Copies of this chain bind each other. A is one copy, B any other.
Amino acid sequence: MKKIALTIMEQLTPKYIQVSRIEFEGPEIAIYVRNPKALAEHPEVAKEIAKKLKKRIVIRTDPSVRRSEKETIEVIKNLVPPEAGIKEIKFDHVLGEVIIKAEKVGLVYGKGQSIYNKVLAETGWRMNVVRIPPVDPKDLSTLNKIIDYMLSQSSYRLEFLRSSGERIHRGVIFENRYVRITALGGFMEVGRSAILIETSESKILLDVGINPSGIGYNLYPRLDIDQLNLEELDAVVVTHAHLDHIGLVPYLFKYGYRGPVYATKPTRDLMVLLLLDLLDIMQRSGQKPPYTQQEVKKMILHTIPLDYGEVTDIAPDMKLTFYNAGHILGSAIAHIHIGEGLHNIVYTGDFKFGRTRLLDKAHTEFPRVETLIMESTYGDRDQPRRDEAELELISVISKTIARRGKVLIPVMAVGRAQEILLVLVDALRKKLLPPETKIYIDGSIKEVTAIHLTYPELLSAQVRARILRGENPFDHENIVRVEGRQMREDIAKSDEPGVILATAGMLTGGPSVEYLRLLAPDPRNVLVFVSYQAKGTLGRRILDGEREITMVDEEGKPQLVRIQMEVKSIDGFSGHSDRRQLLAFLANMKPKPKNIILNHGEPQSIHALAETIRRRARHLGLPEDIRVYTPTILDTLHIAGVA
């Protein structure tokens, strides 16, 4: 620390910037300055420091040079054009940030950050602008809660950043003697994803999910081994906001973890929303949740958001970089660089190597890769083409509406819901569906969609362009938001046809299960699966042919439900790569890995994929002696280091 501070103060910053002190703040080095004007006028100085030190730099102003709130608001209002649509301005006195909620983020920052730099120079405050999309304000309630909570706990957060910063930069004690990967969950199965990466220096977790269908030990990843000691844990890296990857993150805080959680910004927001929603559903259905809102709040304060492509120190011998995974909003492929070139791991998380309406396809180029950990959900089968899938969906809906039935589409709140909404809105606009077709959406879909509108820069070019034009591509006048049990029953009982999008996507609880019970007896209705149904879930059981199901009615009594509605599964909408896309990802990947570890798939998918990769290694451009590993839970692989 001292060495870095001296270097910065004596060699890297010109005297006129007036550096008052240097602090570690999480993965960043914070430089406190007394002359923000000089720095704003010479932005190249900060860039130069970051480049020289190979560290992330944040510039903070000394509190003594910050102007009053009133004066600062005045400066901002004078500089930012009214079209920017500023809704709210708040001040974080601890971090020296002014948080601005606005409709057009770009207009607030100004061209080439010009307004940002002027505000900093004149007031000493750094602007942090959050996009407020044009939606029903209650759809933004979780987002607003996160912002307000972080603001209220600003001192705690600064302290956390300082202590984790010290830890990250603690310096390497041992040589790099080993890199080991332990399968804690989501190996030879889909669900409860969790991977331990361990070196002689540090330990990190990649994802900490729950099993949507699990019971007992199967529900959680195996955090119970001695090898994983929460006090020794340096970081938790979260690839995307699906419960099978994030469901147990707050649990770590319950058991004493106080380190950072790295995620993209949208993953953080979606994660909070989904976890609070999960707690809510568990409480209402009488289940005992493994943690409370308190731990979700701790998690918020300990989450460090990262942008794609941002190289970040997360342990003395590890750097993390996220890349787009194309799976859902904010989903990331994690690249981990270990020990000055010793080893590089790419963990795909869930990924889609194919364009969807919503997202660009997954990134394939990395600075270096020796070991690839790859999901294998569809390792044994191809999926139909996307346009065929859309045609089939529209045709099923049309037929059902013609016979005055209802279409129930269980969807995960994040990802599939938005994709299907885009398809349906498009079909309505193109009049491929009868103009009176109502689309009911239930569960947290609306709020999740609002979060999508907050991050247009992460969506596909087409969707982004429409959002930036001020449109809401997920909305249509025929869309009806459903709230409460009574409304559900009314919809189910009415004679009007319609399409219902409801969570959970695998019928593991939530409104989709309520609709199923109400709609099951009528053969005019249809249940349409558009996503992967994990083993053990109700969705999978029905897909596998089960037609008599015991469910709980409104009064909590068990009831035998006979499924007489039609059951359909339309493949091709998946957010996962199918077999062809998995192989294409390998063929396109640069550079090629030496080891491939397959996870996130049922045994037959994983074995089939392993076989295919070995057989086609040369054709895929992989080394001919490629090692393909198919570990099971609690196995540990030693992938690098000395023998």
List A residues at the B interface (Cβ < 8 Å): 174, 177-178, 180, 182, 198, 200, 203, 216-218, 222, 224-227, 229, 232, 632-638, 641-643
Partner of A200 from B224, B229, B641 at Cβ < 8 Å: B224
Measured CA separation A200–B178 after assembly (Å): 24
Q: A217-B177, A633-B643, A636-B182 are in contact. Are A227 and B224 (CB under 8 A)?
A: no
Measured CA separation A523–B232 after assembly (Å): 62
Closest 9 pairs between A and B when the two form their complex, measured CB to CB: A634-B638, A636-B636, A217-B642, A227-B227, A635-B638, A178-B634, A633-B643, A635-B637, A177-B224
Partner of A633 from B200, B216, B638 at Cβ < 8 Å: B638
List chain B residues, Cβ under 8 A from A643. Answer: 217-218, 632-633
Measured CA separation A637–B216 after assembly (Å): 22
Measured CA separation A174–B222 after assembly (Å): 14
Residue of B nearest to A640 (CB): B634
Measured CA separation A174–B226 after assembly (Å): 12
Measured CA separation A310–B216 after assembly (Å): 38
Measured CA separation A200–B224 after assembly (Å): 8
Measured CA separation A174–B643 after assembly (Å): 33
List chain B residues, Cβ under 8 A from A180. Answer: 225, 634, 636
Give the shortest distance, in Å, between A597 (CB) and chain B (any CB). 12
Measured CA separation A643–B634 after assembly (Å): 8
List chain B residues, Cβ under 8 A from A216. Answer: 642
Check if B226 sits within 8 Å of A232, measured CB to CB.
yes
Residue of B nearest to A177 (CB): B224
Measured CA separation A229–B178 after assembly (Å): 16
Give the shortest distance, in Å, between A95 (CB) and chain B (any CB). 35
Give the shortest distance, in Å, between A607 (CB) and chain B (any CB). 13
List chain B residues, Cβ under 8 A from A203. Answer: 226
Give the shortest distance, in Å, between A562 (CB) and chain B (any CB). 33
List chain B residues, Cβ under 8 A from A638. Answer: 632-635
Give the shortest distance, in Å, between A602 (CB) and chain B (any CB). 13
Partner of A634 from B225, B226, B633, B636 at Cβ < 8 Å: B636
Residue of B nearest to A227 (CB): B227
Measured CA separation A8–B222 after assembly (Å): 40
List chain B residues, Cβ under 8 A from A642. Answer: 216-217
Measured CA separation A182–B636 after assembly (Å): 8
Check if B224 sits within 8 Å of A226, measured CB to CB.
no
Measured CA separation A177–B222 after assembly (Å): 10
Residue of B nearest to A198 (CB): B226
Q: A217-B177, A634-B636 are in contact. Are A226 and B227 (CB under 8 A)?
A: yes
List chain B residues, Cβ under 8 A from A229. Answer: 226
Give the shortest distance, in Å, between A229 (CB) and chain B (any CB). 8
Check if A225 sits within 8 Å of B182, measured CB to CB.
no
Best-surrounded residue of A634, A637, A641 (most CB of chain B within 10 A): A634
Measured CA separation A632–B640 after assembly (Å): 11
Measured CA separation A177–B218 after assembly (Å): 12
